[in-house]
Structure 1
Amino acid sequence: MQRRKFLKNSTLGTAGILSTPLIAAQAGLNSESLNSLTRETKPIVLATWDVANATSRAWEVLKEGATSLDAVEQGVMVEEADENNQTVGKGGRPDRDGQVTLDACIMDKDGNCGSVVYLRNIVHAVSVARKVMEETPHVMLAGDGAEKFAYEQGFPKEDLLTARSRQEWEEWKKTSQYKPIINIENHDTIGMLAIDRKGDISGACTTSGMAYKIAGRVGDSPIIGAGLFIDNEVGGATATGVGEEVVRTVGSFLIVELMRQGKSPQEACEIAVKRIVAKNPGYRDFQVGFIALNKKGETGGYCIQPGFSYRTYSEEGHSLTPAGSYINQ
């Protein structure tokens, strides 16, 4: 590792001595490629759905000079603590047994990652996932083991089932019918990607999963490569919607690999969605959406059904973008 850093620094030092035209001529670069290599890295935050408070917090963290890892963690923590968001953290809709269970993962610029599955009684699942990454030799902890680890790390125990979510669950039990509602029940994941001032990329994903799921069900959100994947040389991607379909195609990893091959974030997201559609004739009955970010700070998003949107925060402003969809309105 030290040798690699030395060689990298030596190369950069030599480049500083040579003139820009000479570098371009020797490398066979045109002006557009040269500008791409030499332009300053600009911080950016990208998140699934209209989570303006979350992206605002992540942007504040980046502007303070902190890492992209800190930004994505603190960004999604905003939604985990918001009881009005019934798809993550406290106030999340329970499984059919009345238990609120959380899944989350986080991944940094070096490929380090941590994940928690079926976590109960802890609000900030993403922070527990980070502790798994930083304090253990493991990637994933589940159930009672994840909860015990969280207490050992100082996380407080808290009842996650709010009065509102309990009332809705009691009403659901009258029929116990389960059918995912596109862009409502399946608004089940907050995924966030960020680039910091150093050009390093990190990502995080957190969810309470599908409402009234079978106890023990786990979707794509805590699965590295499915719900989230980061490669600091290329970019990152994250997913939302019916996690089973994302798992089957290893969707986020697929998108990053497509970007490695030269596809733009938008092109890569579209290909990933179309692969799900091609493999599932029932695609009209569910939603899957992806967002992606490459090393240049370019973004993209795409979904199956109309209605998915994503937030972007950069020096150019704070915006909400309706994602293109395979099925048109």
Structure 2
Amino acid sequence: MQATPADPSTPDAFLTPVEHLFVRNHLGPPPELDASAWTLTVEGLVERPLWLDLAALRGLARRRLTAFHECFGNPSRPDVPTRAVANLEWSGVALADVLDLAAPRPQARHIWFEGADRGSYAGEGGLRYLKDLPLEQARDEVLLADTVNGEPLPRRHGFPLRAVAPRLFATNSVKWLTRVVLSERRPEHLFTTRLYTRVPPGGGAARPVREVDVNSKLLGPRDGQRVTAGTHELTGRAWSYEPVVAVEVAVDDDGWRPTLLQPRGPGPVWQRFALPCRLSPGPHRIRCRATDARGRVQPPSGARNAVHAVEVVAV
């Protein structure tokens, strides 16, 4: 997996500037696609296979979606935190509208999304990037997006079209989308059944990486920052598959204190939290942890969504 550029600290703004959005490429440089020649095929268990160009797609009803967007991290190290996250406004067409044109057959249970990127990964060559979702879940939630934050998709983020699967890890939001297949089964593939799987807490069979974990990130002050001693507003963002209902902050050895948390509202966006706090001269360790509506709490350590901590010096 290539990551360029290095992830900057996410700005404390509701929408993340596209230039600060993380980049993840599994199979080499982004493909160079000619928008005038590009098509999306919809095939498999459908009554009416489709070959749609951009003009045909843009002739369908337009939808907007504002949602957080989180990278799962290195699939070979599923317990290592990355906290690469953004909040973005996408626009495009609902996958459901495209499926209505294709008319899925009753036996279709899964939908495969294939990107135009090709290459090698983990010692396996001749790969294409492929992900799958349960058909009904994808029909209800997935957007086929051609813009981000009001501008055409940049090449590095999936031009000319990508899938956006809100509340799911970004590995499921396939970039450079060229092919959609409806099937009665899941595909056997490196990125579907061998990587991007994990064993749930308590054990059991490995499951595909889909629903995001409850998580939070301190954004101000930044890790390693020198600040003036005195009162500061400790701020950050929290997100989860379900709405986040509480975020707590701890400074040094003090106990956890509740923050002022903005509600999520109807859309799957990240939520700002803030806490005024006086920092005396010297070094300080600041931590945050979130709780979601399902009752899940960030673990203290040993997980990809472990409690986030920053260290600052007040002078």
Q: TM-score range by the shorter chain?
A: under 0.3
TM-score by length of 1: 0.25
Please identify which structure carries the higher strand content.
Answer: 2
User: 1 or 2 for the larger relative contact order (CA 8 Å, sep ≥6)?
Assistant: 1
If the length of structure 2 is used for normalisation, what is the TM-score?
Answer: 0.25
